[in-house]
Every structure is written in C-alpha cells, then in structure tokens.
Chain A
Amino acid sequence: MTVARYDLLRRALWLGRVLRSRLLQPALMLVTLVVFTLAIVTGLFGTPAGSRNFGIVFVWIVWWALLIVVLVPLFGRVWCMMCPIPAPGEWLQRRAIVRRNPGRPRTLRKRWPRRLKNMWLQNIGFLGVALFSGVILTRPSVSAVVLLAFPLIALGLSLLYENRVFCRYVCPVGGFIGLYAMMAPLELRTRDCSTCRLHRTKDCVAGNAQGYGCPWMVYPGNLDRNTYCGMCMECFKTCPKDNITLNLRPFGADLFVSKSHRLDEAYKAFIMLGCALLYSAVFLGPWGWLKSWASLESLPNWLLYAAGLLAIVLALIPGLFRLCAALSDRLAGHRAGSRFVTYAYTLVPLGLAAWIAFSLGFVFVNGSYALSVISDPFGWGWNLFGTAHMPWTPFAPQLLSFLQVGVLTGGLLFAASMTVRFAGDGMVDARRALVAGLPVIAFQLVMTLAFLWLYLG
C-alpha cells in the first residue's frame, strides 16, 4: 500500500544540515547523560522516599511520560538517538565522541548468535523489569542499581560485539520503543530505493570518512518500518547521494507492512498490553494488597504476583486473542489461526493508547513532584531554584478522565479499523470484512473497557 509522505528535508534545508552534523548526537547524549548520571547518584545517595528523589521522579515520571506520551507516538525512535545508556560503550568502541575515527570499532568481533537476532531477549528483559517494577519504580536505590546495570551491560556487549547489539537485541526499553515507533508519523527513509540498489559501495552500511556504517545494522535501502532504525543519523552523514530523508506520514503506516510481521514482535504487543493492564491495576487501582504483593513485601506473595503476571501476559491474553483471531479467520474463510500474528499488530495502537492513558494517570497526579525535586534532587534539604517546598498538587484532575477516555477510544478505533482491513485482505465485500473482524474487535473492546473500568472506576 502506498501512503502519502511529506519530505521534511526538501522544505527545511537547515534541518538537513543539523542532522548531518557530527555534533548533534553527542550534544544530545551529553544532556541526557547529565540527567542519567544525576538519577543514579541521587538514587544511590539521596532520600529513600521515592517522591522526593530525583532518580525516581525524573526517570519514572518525567522521562517515562515524555517518552510514551510525546516522543514515541510523534517521533518514533528519536529517544534512541539521545539515549545515554549505550553512549560510553559506543564511544569506547569508536575511541571518539564527536569525530569520525577512521579505524574500525575496537571490539573482540564476536558474532551475535543468529537465534537471538530478534526481540525475544528484549521481551524477556522487559518482563524481568516488569516483575520487579513495584520495587524498581518506587525505591531509589534499587532503581539506581538497575539504571547503572543498563550502561554496564551495554558496555560489556560493546566490548564483545561491534555496533549497537545492546540497543538492537537486548535493551528492554528499545523493544517496545521499536514496536510503538511504527505508530509515529515521522520516519527516516530513502528517497529512492533504486538509488541505493545501484550504489555499489553502500557507504551507509560500510561507513566512510563522513560517518560510521549503520550502528543499528540496518540497510536504509530496505528500510520500510521504524522498528529497528535508531535514528542515529549516521546514514545522513555517509550517504553520498543525498538519498536519506525524514518524512511525515500517516500514523501507524508501518503496521501495514505485512511481510515484516513476526511472532516475537506480536508477543511484544501482548506483553505491553498485558503489562499496561497490570500496571494500571497495581499502581492506580484501589487494591493495596496487590501493590504490596508487587512491592516484594513478602516473597510468597510476590511469587504469586509474578506467576499471575506471567500467566496473564504470556498465556491468558495471547490465548484469548488466538481464539478471537481463529474465529475471525474462520469468518474470513482463512485457515484458523493463520493470521494470528498479523492480527496481533492491531494491538499496537491499542497498547500505545493504554500506555499513554496509564502514563497520563500518574503524570497528572504526581508530576508536581518534579518541581520540588529539581530544587532538592537528593532530598537533602537543598533549595536550588526556590521550588523545593512546592506542595504536591495534582494537575487538572477534572481533565484527566476525558483525556484517558479520548486516547483509549482513539486507540480502539484505530485497532478496529486495522482489524477490518486485515480481515478484508483479498475481500471485495466490506461488510463481510467487518463481520470477519468482529471477534478480534470484541477482544479489543473488552480490553478497552477493562482499562476504562480501572481508570474511571
């Protein structure tokens, strides 16, 4: 399917110059590195009260909301361009921060196992973090240790493997950013694929004097989805044909690239949707016992919680969805279950909407903590900007429910329209396509109602 695209760089020449600058990425990384380092130091040495600790407030409220409400839905993987986590490893590999070091990256040149060239490790990593989220998201010291572990793992992998193996195959955050980046109306693409095909030296992969070969191990000439492009902008620098650009395009255009649909990504969609539901119940729901189970206050209760989370996310939700998908297949005249993976991509807009609604729930309520911790990041009684004693004030509580309902409804409608389109693939009769999609739409509706019930009571 061809969708309308708007080449941003044709209109904004200055943007092309900015993207080609070797200073862009290090400058952004330096800014985020300051915040990231402060988050770790405050987590380790600051107050154990999460609501007064910069590490908790700025990572799990400010950064998270910025990521899931703004950056990913609108700009795709743009966070990966400025993420500080892989920075030390990458700089050591290159033995350079800004300049293009002509030598090959310094690593042990191990080969990443073929069977791990997918999203499964990221799925496992995200679930690992999710299981302990009751502790990680509330206890600054634990949060700091986890945050510190990420760049250390990335550094270790960068010593063994060339390029951004951590970001591409391991980072628990990168997995879902990649999945939801398919929704973004911004994409990095080639202007003309045939130019790439005919270009012999493939500088975007091999690198040249202007830049490194794609650290994300992506060939821009084949790029048809945002999922694995980290927007590092190296290909802008290396392409001698001026064939790389940034396009504006309709939301969710990547989701219809059906030849790329994969089970690991489908499961990422299930995991994200299920975790959004459970997080909403744990952190925003009225069940104190559930929160204490998730907070690891007693091992047996936490084990029950962990077993429940895994069962719901890995078995119950995919199982129910498989039943619905099989019914839709039958109604569409396909072999039952043959489009299970394809239908799973309809959960991407729904899942993203659920995460936005969930994030709005706590950022509206707890966002004001950011004002006090910016002045007193450690909770030591500092008052750097005179805002340390600003009281906790929920923001526009009367507006929150409307926004959550609107976002969830939008997600449901997008998911339902995708479902009808997938169900009607090869069909002429639109009514029959709608009927065929109804079981999957019913699943989406039930999930949406569950979220609405949790948010609105």
Chain B
Amino acid sequence: MRRLEGIAIALVLSVLVGLPVATLGYQYVVRPAQSEHRVIDIIAYAPEAGGFQPTVIRLTAGETVTLRFHAADVVHGVAIGPGLGIDLGHIDPGEVREITYTFDQPGLFTYYCTTWCSKDHWRMRGVIEVVDPASPDSLPLPERDPIIDALAAEGIDIDTYPDGGPTHGGAHPARVRVSTGLTPHVARGETALTGLTVPDILASLEWRRAHTPLEALELLAQENADADRARLADAVAGLWLSHTPGQPAAGTVASYNANCAACHGQTGAGDGPAAGQTAEEPAAFRPDSMLPMRSDVLYAKIQRGGMGTDMPNFGTLFTPEETWALVDYLWWLTFTDDP
C-alpha cells in the first residue's frame, strides 16, 4: 500500500505540476528551439479589443521567419503588403494560419485584416520593420510617392475641391459633383470613337491620368462640334480604359471587394454595409462624381487616405502598380454602370 501511495502522489504531482509545465514548456521553449527559424505568434483581435498583438515586428533583412496568425474572436483575414502577394485568406475564430517567408530587402511592410471584422476594421494593421543587418538600429524610411509629390507641386490639395458634395451632414468641400446627365459606357466606347477626330494627346496614358474625363470630353467636342455629347462621353469612356481592355483582373476585383467594397459598395455605388458609419459619406463611382475627377487624385487618395473622411491609407498595403489597377477598376465601375 505504501508503494501504491507513493505512485499515487507522484501521479498527482505530475498532473498538477507536470502537465502545465510540459504543455507550456513545449509551446514556448521546445517548439521554438526545434524550429530552424524564428516563430512569431500574432493574435488577431477585433480592433476595439486591441487589433493585432503584437502590432510591430522587427526583422533583419534576409531572415526567414514563420508568422503564425491566430484569430481570437471573430473571423479575420490576413494579407501582407505591399508587393509581397501574401494573402492567408479568412481565419475563423480559434484557427491558426501561418506563413514562412524570407524578407530579403530592408523595408516596411504591413500585415492587415482583409475581412470586415468590425466597424473599425480598417484600423487593424501591424507593421513589419525589416532592417538592414549592416545598420540594425536605423529604421527603413518610407519612400516618397512621385505622384503625390507631383500633385503637391501642381498645387492640388487632394482633399479640397471648390464645390460641395454628398456628406452625411451637409456639403463638404472635398467633393465635386457635376450634373451632366451623361451616362458613358465603356462597351459603347469603341463604336462611339469610330469616325471621330481624336486629339493625339488623348492617346497618352500620362495625360489621361492627370486630367479629368470632362476635360477630355471638351477636347473631343472642340474637334467634333457636330457630334452628340452622349456619343462623345461614350468615346471618353472607351479612351479612359483603352490601356486595360477586357474585364478587370480577378486579383484587382478581389482586392477592391476585400478593402473598398464595405464602404464604397461592391458595384461602386457608395452603398456598402459600412457606408453609414464613416465620418463622410463614401464616394460613389458614378459619372456625376467621377467625370470631374483625375486618376492621379484617385491614386493619391487610395495611397494616402482621405483626411477627415475615414478613408484609410492603403499606401502601406498596395504597390503603385496595384493602386493604379484599383484606379482603373474604379473607372470600370463608373463606365459600366447602367442606371
């Protein structure tokens, strides 16, 4: 009986002490030690509960790391950008998704939620600082964006426009809306262009990005005085998307749906499920509001965000190429709308 008692005491102690020590020790000591590279656990809470924990991760360029994302409360999604093409997809509460990746170059990257997890979803971001091993104490600086710099040099404040526009509570100077009565459609663009005299400058993508469709419309009207304005507007729609013929890329549509549609609506009507929760009514990508809009301004708004509107900045998530693709998609939504 004494021997049995000794065994019983040993078993009880092994349960009360050994079990916690073994499980926690395996997770926090043995498992990381067995891994060939660093393993970082990132817990994803809804933004009101703290968002990503931790919010900052520092790595050394060339370091391979396993990032393990745990969804703690609601369904989240995780992607890392800009330019890495990492999208872990949806993570159900309690699920874990991980990626092992080597960050080759110094730079700043952002891991962000891609699922509308709360009204503050867009705040749910974390930063990966990849430092140069030669100077590990100096943080990589964000690069300046030449498009935004050019707008500033031109004297264009991307938040300020001369006319009012749709807001939740009244007119806002950052919006312009022109009632043209025109509903240009890209599908009619090619037919509309047939027989028209098109100024050479309209063939320039660079020019089109720095000007509005209305300006293009006026140029076309000067050269084609007898043409119907509706036909000219269709021609402008065709010209505006002439550098991206066919349907938008699936990745761009998915990116719009994941990041923009909650406010701007899946069809760009400004009627997303979160539209009523923003400080300013989200823009609708419709002819009245888009014909007086420049592509480079749209680009700048996406990259930098909209001051005081709740429009987040996406410059830390998307590359310039991804941003231009999104701008083109906004025009596609505008010029494929059938009222």
Contacts and interface: CB of A to CB of B under 8 A. Distances in A.
Interface stretch (B3-11, B124-132, B280-288): B3-11
Interface stretch (A96-104, A334-342, A408-416): A96-104
Contact of B73 (A23, A49, A98): A49
Interface residues of A, number: 28
A192 to B, nearest CB: 31
Q: Which of B27, B68, B70, B94 has the most CB of A within 10 A?
A: B94
B24 interface: yes
Given A52-B94, A91-B12, A99 B2 contact: yes
Contacts of B5: 96-99
B11 A30 contact: yes
A64 B73 CA distance: 23
B1 interface: yes
Contact of B93 (A37, A41, A52, A96): A52
Interface string A41-70: 100010111111100000000000000000
A452 interface: no
A98 B9 CA distance: 9
Contacts of B45: 48
A314 B70 CA distance: 42
Interface stretch (A114-122, A252-260, A377-385): A377-385
Interface stretch (B15-23, B201-209, B229-237): B15-23
Contact of A37 (B15, B27, B70): B15
Nearest to A379: B94
A210 to B, nearest CB: 12
A47 B16 contact: no
A3 interface: no
A213 interface: no
Contacts of B4: 23, 98-99
Contact of A379 (B8, B24, B96): B96
Contacts of B9: 97
A377 B24 CA distance: 12
B298 interface: no
Interface string B88-100: 0000011110100
A376 to B, nearest CB: 8
B71 interface: yes
Contacts of A26: 8
Contact of A98 (B1, B20, B41): B1
A34 interface: yes
B12 A379 contact: no
A98 B70 CA distance: 43
Interface string B72-101: 110000000000000000000111101000
A378 B12 contact: no
28 contacts: A22-B1, A26-B8, A33-B16, A34-B19, A37-B15, A38-B19, A41-B20, A41-B23, A47-B72, A48-B72, A48-B73, A49-B73, A50-B94, A51-B94, A53-B94, A97-B5, A97-B12, A98-B1, A98-B4, A98-B8, A99-B2, A377-B23, A379-B70, A380-B27, A380-B70, A381-B70, A381-B96, A381-B98
Given A48-B43, A91-B12, 4 more contacts: A26-B8, A34-B19, A37-B15, A37-B16
Interface of A: 22-23, 26, 30, 33-34, 37-38, 41, 45, 47-53, 88, 91, 96-99, 377-381
